[in-house]
Amino acid sequence: MTATVLDGRATAAAIKAELAERVAKLKAQGVTPGIATVLVGADPASQLYVGMKHKQSEEIGMNSIQVELPADATQADVEAEIDRLNADETCHGYIVQLPLPRHLDTDRILERIDPAKDADGLHPTNLGKLVLNVNDEIISPLPCTPRAVIELLERNGYALAGTHVVVVGRGVTIGRSIGLLLTRRDVNATVTLTHTGTRDLPAYLRQADVIVGAAGMKHLVRPEDVKPGAAVLDVGVTREIDPETGKSKVYGDIAPGVEEVAGWLSPNPGGVGPMTVALLMTNVVEAAERTIRA
């Protein structure tokens, strides 16, 4: 068996084409969706990631707002920019690029974001709304990466209803938040949350219809841990220096050879990553649409 590849780049392109049409309709009504980023310092990886977000948002007609602060910016400096974006009617959603310099209180800064403009969907208020809402329509921003996992599967014909999803990783970005979406009645999956401290992790993995590897541990999920035909999504990232080239190399949580056992495989890179950016833009477009309906 060779797994069917869940192509995140192609699926993200389809989402962005849909978003371009929605942006055009909003512009016709006098609203241009505005997406902003707050970048503190000059970390090259963060600069690259932020630049990619703005490039893609501009391609679909969104207004791109970039806030850049020096690495020695104070807590008050950053909070002042947060307050400015919260009050800016041309900004419908934004992110604070992480990690922030160590002298800053990251939690305090993230909690200062207006929940309605939370492009990542990880503000405590929005996660709390998900905890309380199992059945009704969601009218708040959703966690981007968990939403990306679900969209990638469903848009490629995979039905999640009734499946057993085993998530590896307990971070807020995906591990702790994805179960809130997967267990809603409109998705209707069963979720087991595991992590690097789980005793006999392979025993849980072998029961899974779907595995989401998000622990950030190189090749944690091995071929012998995967039930034949399962859907496997590689989300975790580990960076190591290649001794031969001296350059940083990215590894996922899923080991080579899993593609010979799994029925579906989301690779890393090229899987959930591009989808996350597309869903971040979706959150902002949806926020702009809500201003029309308000």
Fold agreement (30-114, 144-273): yes
Q: Please, what is the Cα angle at 190 between 185 and 193, to 5 degrees?
A: 125
Select which of 16, 56, 97, 227 is catalytic: 97
Core vs surface per residue 81-92: b (16+ CB within 10 A) or e? bbeebeeeeebb
Which band of pLDDT confidence, cut at 50, 70 and 90, is reported for residue 294? low
> What percent of the chain is predicted at pLDDT more than 90?
90
Helix (H, G, I), strand (E, B) or coil at 34: strand
**Beta-bridge mates of residue 234:** 213
Which band of pLDDT confidence, cut at 50, 70 and 90, is reported for residue 90? very high
Would you say 203 and 156 are in contact if contact means Cβ atoms under 8 Å apart?
A: no
Core vs surface per residue 180-217: b (16+ CB within 10 A) or e? bbbebeebebebebbbeebeebeebbeebbbbbbbbbb
Which band of pLDDT confidence, cut at 50, 70 and 90, is reported for residue 96? very high
- Residue 175, marked binder: no
Determine whether 120 is an active site residue: yes
Determine whether 53 is an active site residue: yes
Give dist(CA 55, CA 35) in Å, integer: 11
Mean pLDDT of 265-288: 96
At 259, which amino acid appears?
E
pLDDT at 89 over 90: yes
Give dist(CA 273, CA 292) in Å, integer: 30
Q: Domain 144-273 is of which CATH architecture?
A: 3-Layer(aba) Sandwich (3.40)
Residue 168: enclosing H or E segment and its boundaries?
A: strand 164-168
- Residue 239, marked binder: no
Select which of 53, 118, 227, 234 is catalytic: 53
pLDDT at 1 over 80: no
- Return the CA Rg of the chain: 19
Which band of pLDDT confidence, cut at 50, 70 and 90, is reported for residue 32? very high
- CATH number belonging to domain 30-114: 3.40.50.10860
- Residue 170, marked binder: yes
Backbone φ and ψ of 234, nearest 5°: -95, 110
Mutual orientation of helices 272-293 and 44-59 as an angle, nearest 10°? Answer: 50
- The candidate with the shortest Cα–Cα distance to 168, out of 45, 240, 258, is 258
Mean pLDDT of 187-202: 97
Query: Is the bond preceding 269 in cis, omega lying within 30 degrees of 0?
Result: yes
Query: Is the bond preceding 101 in cis, omega lying within 30 degrees of 0?
Result: no
What pLDDT is stored for residue 211 in this prediction? 98
Select which of 16, 117, 118, 120 is catalytic: 120
Would you say 65 and 49 are in contact if contact means Cβ atoms under 8 Å apart?
A: no
Determine whether 114 is an active site residue: no
Q: For the chain, what's the residue count?
A: 294
User: Distances from the Cα of 3 to the Cαs of 6, 224, 231, 243, 253, in angstroms?
Assistant: 9, 15, 8, 31, 17
Give dist(CA 291, CA 92) in Å, integer: 9
> What percent of the chain is predicted at pLDDT more than 70?
99
Core vs surface per residue 239-277: b (16+ CB within 10 A) or e? eeeeeeeeeeeebbbbbeebbebbbbbbbbebbbbbbbb
249 φ/ψ sector (left φ>0, alpha ψ -120 to 50, else beta): beta
Domain boundaries, the chain: 30-114, 144-273
What pLDDT is stored for residue 182 in this prediction? 98
Which band of pLDDT confidence, cut at 50, 70 and 90, is reported for residue 196? very high
